[in-house]
Amino acid sequence: MLTSVLSTTTTTGSVTGIQSMTTTTGIPEYGVIAVIMLITLLSAKFVLSASAKWSKSLDCTLKMAITPLIIEFVAIVVFKLSHLN
């Protein structure tokens, strides 16, 4: 009985298409938000570095926020380039 259930599932899966049931990785799903945040934080760092409010702790805080977003941006670019057909 188990064999017949598996063969039925496989047949149904091949008729509807296996690719429609798969999902891509989650990197590009919220990529637009990450890029907007990266641009915003880079702009804030540029503007604040010229102001009197600039300090070493503010620089460290902005670097901690910007670094993962840059890594994610690079990952998004690599993902998009690898999926070009």
Q: Where are the domains of the chain?
A: 26-82
Question: pLDDT at residue 68 above 90?
Answer: yes
Q: Are the beta carbons of 34 and 73 closer than 8 angstroms?
A: yes
Separation of alpha carbons 58 and 17, rounded Å: 52
Residue 69 contacts residue 41 (beta carbons within 8 Å): yes
pLDDT of residue 41: 96
12-21 pLDDT, tens per residue? 445 555 544 4
- Confidence label for 28 from pLDDT (cuts 50, 70 and 90): low
* 3-class DSSP assignment, residue 69: helix
Tokens 């070493």 -> residue: 56
Q: Say what the pLDDT of residue 53 is.
A: 87
